[in-house]
Amino acid sequence: MEPLERYRSIIDDFDAFLTACERPLGNAVRVNTIKASVDRTIAALEREGVEYEQADWNPRVLRLETDSPGSTWTSFHGFTHGQEEVSAVPPVVLDPEAGERVWDCCAAPGGKTTQLAARMSDRGTVVANDNNLGRISALRFNAERLGATSLAVTNADARTYSLERFDFDAFDRALVDAPCSCEGTIRKNPDALDNWSEGHISSVSGIQKGILRRAVQATRTGGVVVYSTCTFAPEENEAVVQHALETESCRLVEFELELEHSPGLTAWMDEEFDSNLERASRIYPHQNDTGGFFVAKLEVTEE
Q: Identity (one letter) of the amino acid at 67?
A: D
CB 281 within 8 A of CB 257: yes
Q: Identity (one letter) of the amino acid at 192?
A: A
Distance of CA 97 to the CA centre of its chain: 18
SS3 33: coil
Helix (H) or strand (E) holding 125: strand 125-129
Task: Return the biggest CA–CA distance within the chain.
Answer: 57
CB 16 within 8 A of CB 286: yes
Helix (H) or strand (E) holding 152: strand 151-154
CB 30 within 8 A of CB 111: yes
Tell me the HSE value of 117 on the side-chain side, using a 13 A CA sphere: 25
230 catalytically annotated = yes
SS3 102: strand
Q: Among the options 105, 180, 182, 230, which is catalytic? A: 230
Which residues are identified as catalytic? 230
